Structure 1
Amino acid sequence: MSAAEMATPTLVGTVTSAVSSSTSYSCNKPTGVSAGHLLLALQWSAGTIGAVTSGGWAQLQAQSGGATSRVTWLGAGGSEPGSYTFTQTAQPGGAIIIAVAGASLAEPVSASSSTAVGSAVSTPSVTPFGVDDLEVRFAVALNSGQAFTPAAGFTEQADVADGGEGGAMCATRVLSSGSATGTHTFATSGTPSAPHGYTIAITEAPSGRPRIVVATFAARNRAASW
């Protein structure tokens, strides 16, 4: 297997985000998405989120209690729309969409949790499939002061405030080891309420069916392969 065939999955375009107090709103598709790319979406609300976005999106895991959040995924087809619609009750909320090339289109295993460490949201450890996987972490919190600081070694891709109730962050890093990635916290500028953390490790499989692990603090080190 050549180095090119085993290359780390990479981000496509720029991570997109949207916030709204409306019951329905749209978040743009990252630029450059084409058939075979993997899209991940985090949605959260201070109220209740609606049904999973139509068009082939599938839920990985959802969390509730003080806020609601959900991570969904989509294997992009050849005619994806320019934006995707999210629904919620009339409470502030938002969404973040990230697109990855060279990622698995097999259904990932997933879990979720709600853990805070002082003025920070905790995201869990996961054991990746490869030594150069792309790791994606999402952190959500209400009453967070509207700003997150990424853990050391992570690149912030989105830091989104929903107008007074809270917000969310997306951060990524390329792994250099196949060992468990460890728990990492993302600091907020206020005391977080309803903290939700997600960790996703994305790898490319030799068969052309790359594999994904999704874990949270409550179910660290769960893994599946296809």
Structure 2
Amino acid sequence: MPDVRGVSQAASAATSFTVSKPTGTVSGDVMFLLQVSNSTTAAGLGTPTGGATWTLVTTVGADSSFCIAKLWRKTAGGSEPSTYTLTQGSSDDSVAIVVSLSDASTSAPVVATNLGDFGTTTITTPSTTPTGPSDIDLRFVAAYGVPSGTTWTPPAGYTERADTQSADNPTASLATKALSGSGATGTQNFTISSAPTRWRSITVTVTGTQTNVGVNDTGSATQSLTVAGTTPLADTGTATDTFLAARAVPLTDTATAADAITASATIALTDTGTAVDTGANGQPIFFPEVGTAADTITTAVTGAGLGQGGAASDAVTVTASAALTNAATALDALTYSEVLFPVVGDTAAAEDALTFVDVHDRDAVAGPPRRTWSARPPTI
């Protein structure tokens, strides 16, 4: 929305005098310049000079009224001077106010004027109807026929930006307010400390600039969007719908191998062992069975890539519980007890329940273990 970038003011009885460019003004700012004079002719107030050309917005007050107000506007160019030059008649006295607005539309503003004579310290500025939901309202007032030291009080809710008076008593003030709706702004009253002979008022409502956003823009993970307003998302629109909004924009990206995750998982390991395991006494044991491939481990995985095969640099921390039904690796360490109820002539299988107490009294060469029964003897 538009905002006040800076304000300057001046007062002079010279036929040519200057007013400073508001501090902070940059190229593209919208500028307004008010000159109020006790001149008897509007033609005596020439177009200000310096930088981009000024365009007359309105003139309030008739010739011979001794209170003529002229308002100009322009868009600041890339080479604006530090001051602007104004002119008036040889016996005239003037005050000037310049305001620069940021983020303001360069289209014609909404303008309304008012004027009055004698006897009141309440100076009324007219109502306007904004063209957007977040415009800025400028209220200019001017008066003639007041004593030196006269001051202005702005309407409630408005911020006074300027208050100036010349030696031969023309005086002017500017107050502004940020608007938050598109309804009529209503009349607003200034209070002047002394009742003037003549008074003039001008209301200017300026809308903000708009930003074009591509509907089909895919964006990137670092894009940010600051917008104000409401845009229906169900319409098809064109490639560059224009809107004002304030919202978070969801972005969709595809994870890469470097994305970090923290996870807990159960991982099935497939190994093919040999037929020799080591018992609790350090002696090798022969198991005739062929195991299944279902070792179960609990693992915490950090830094694993999404949707990719692991790499040597993947970090895992595991705690394993080995299933005893598989073929073990060459040096699996086991502590066991088995109970066997074999039948002569029967070859023991992995699923037979047996208990033998690690008796591996063996020959120097590998061979089947001799078993000492701790239960009933085998059936003959």
Q: TM-score range by the shorter chain?
A: 0.7 to 0.9
- 2:140 is matched with 138
Q: 1:39 to 1:101 in 2, by over 3 A?
A: same
Residue range with higher mean Cα deviation, 16-25 or 142-151: 142-151
- Give yes or no for the alignment of 1:156 onto 2:160: yes
Distance in 1 between residues matched to 2:170 and 2:199, nearest whole Å = 10
Of 147, 153, 168, the residue aligned with 2:151 is: 147
- Give yes or no for the alignment of 1:58 onto 2:58: no
Could you list the runs of 5+ residues in structure 2 that have no partner in the other structure?
213-380
Q: Which amino acid aligns with 1:62?
A: T
Shift, 1:206, TM fit: 2.9
- 2:257 is matched with none
Q: Tell me, what secondary structure is at the counterpart of 2:79? A: coil
Q: Tell me, what secondary structure is at the counterpart of 2:115? A: coil
- 2:184 is matched with 180
Q: Which amino acid aligns with 2:133?
A: V
- 1:206 is matched with 210
Distance in 2 between residues matched to 1:165 and 1:91, nearest whole Å = 11
- 1:94 is matched with 95
Q: Tell me, what secondary structure is at the counterpart of 1:126? A: coil
- 1:9 is matched with 2
Q: 1:67 to 1:125 in 2, by over 3 A?
A: same
- 1:40 is matched with 32
8 A Cα contact 2:36 2:170, kept in partner: no
8 A Cα contact 1:119 1:189, kept in partner: yes
**Matched-pair identity in %:** 33
Distance in 2 between residues matched to 1:112 and 1:133, nearest whole Å = 18
- 1:23 is matched with 15
Q: Tell me, what secondary structure is at the counterpart of 2:114? A: coil
Distance in 1 between residues matched to 2:109 and 2:136, nearest whole Å = 14
Could you list the runs of 5+ residues in structure 1 that have no partner in the other structure?
1-7, 209-226
Residue range with higher mean Cα deviation, 73-82 or 137-146: 137-146
Q: Tell me, what secondary structure is at the counterpart of 2:34? A: strand
Shift, 1:191, TM fit: 1.0
Shift, 1:205, TM fit: 4.2
8 A Cα contact 1:60 1:111, kept in partner: no
Aligned residue pair count: 200
Q: Which amino acid aligns with 1:60?
A: V
Shift, 1:112, TM fit: 3.1
Residues 139-161 of structure 1 show CA distances to partners (whole Å, capped at 9, x for unaligned) of: 00012342111111111000001
8 A Cα contact 1:61 1:71, kept in partner: yes
Q: Which amino acid aligns with 1:159?
A: D
Q: Tell me, what secondary structure is at the counterpart of 1:113? A: strand
Shift, 1:163, TM fit: 1.5
RCO (CA 8 Å, sep 6+): is it higher in 1 or 2?
1
8 A Cα contact 1:126 1:181, kept in partner: yes
Residue range with higher mean Cα deviation, 139-148 or 102-111: 102-111
Q: Tell me, what secondary structure is at the counterpart of 1:53? A: coil
Distance in 1 between residues matched to 2:73 and 2:176, nearest whole Å = 17
Distance in 1 between residues matched to 2:92 and 2:210, nearest whole Å = 44
Greater C-alpha Rg: 2
Distance in 1 between residues matched to 2:56 and 2:111, nearest whole Å = 9
Distance in 2 between residues matched to 1:96 and 1:194, nearest whole Å = 19
Distance in 1 between residues matched to 2:137 and 2:121, nearest whole Å = 23
Shift, 1:109, TM fit: 5.3
Distance in 2 between residues matched to 1:148 and 1:155, nearest whole Å = 12
RMSD (Å), alpha carbons: 1.8
Q: What's the TM-score, normalizing by structure 1? A: 0.82
Distance in 1 between residues matched to 2:54 and 2:98, nearest whole Å = 12
Q: Tell me, what secondary structure is at the counterpart of 1:85? A: strand
Distance in 1 between residues matched to 2:134 and 2:110, nearest whole Å = 19
Q: What's the TM-score, normalizing by structure 2? A: 0.50
- 1:103 is matched with 104
